[in-house]
Amino acid sequence: MSGPEPFGARLRRAMDARGPLCVGIDPHAALLAEWGLNDDVAGLERFSRTVVEAVADRVAVLKPQSAFFERFGSRGIAVLEASVTQARAAGALVVMDAKRGDIGSTMAAYAECFLHPDSPLFSDALTVSPYLGYGSLGPAVELARESGTGLFVLALTSNPEGGEVQHAVRADGRNVGATMLGHLAAENAGETPLGSFGAVVGATLGDLSSYDLDINGPLLAPGIGAQGATAADLPAVFGPAVRNVVPNVSRGVLRHGADVVALRDAAERFSDEIRAAVAAM
């Protein structure tokens, strides 16, 4: 009996059908206030439900940021569970932005929380941190393969502090970011139409031609919109790998407030701009 369809294949199909846009669900306190909502569980629930209603039936990926739900304790986690279920039911793939990273049984428990089909927080993919060593992600890689889910590994992030670790040069002459890309290329070797193990690579980083971004897997690219990058920048940053880029937009969409139509229109504008930029390559 064949196992579940791999995340990479499902993502490729969703990107081809809906475009590659990923919309973040980031209900931080300032944004709740901009929407006229209280910074409480009721405001959190209203915010998340509105975003899901507006775009989950039309974008390829939704990416809830777990921390903004966790800060409300068990009631916030319950909202997150409902949001994941509702988004997936509407056809969006859910990438849980939790950036988990640990060793051994603890890493396995994090993986089970987000990547096991029996978990209330079961998502299509999970962001993870490899900075206890790429091998520490082994339990998550194994469960992702079993459950047909995926991982997005922090490789070349857009925050200025990231270079302290990611640009550090190893004894073999490669820096740490390039090493992570190499590990992911090995995980995805031979997979079609797309591997399930992706990298997080900032869209604001400029020319990345010195890196081999052809990992046969998706590249989750934050930075479009409020952080300063535009859809038109994507080909110059990612080169031939741009077809596998999943550009993430959060504030650029969410700032349009609690109106479903306005959120939907903003997402569609970004999606159209991204499609045009990718097609121009």
Residues with catalytic function: 99
Side-chain half-sphere CA neighbours of 83 within 13 A: 32
E strands, 18-148, in order: 22-25, 61-64, 93-100, 125-128
User: What is the DSSP code (8-state) at residue 196?
Assistant: S
Distance of CA 17 to the CA centre of its chain: 18
CA pair distance 192, 211, nearest whole angstrom: 22
What secondary structure does DSSP assign to 215-266, as a single string? -SS-EEEE-BSTTSB-GGGHHHHHGGGGGGEEEEESHHHHTTTT-HHHHHHH
CA pair distance 205, 195, nearest whole angstrom: 24
Run of H or E residues at 105: helix 104-115
Query: Do 235 and 275 meet the contact criterion of CB atoms below 8 Å apart?
Result: no
CA pair distance 231, 247, nearest whole angstrom: 8
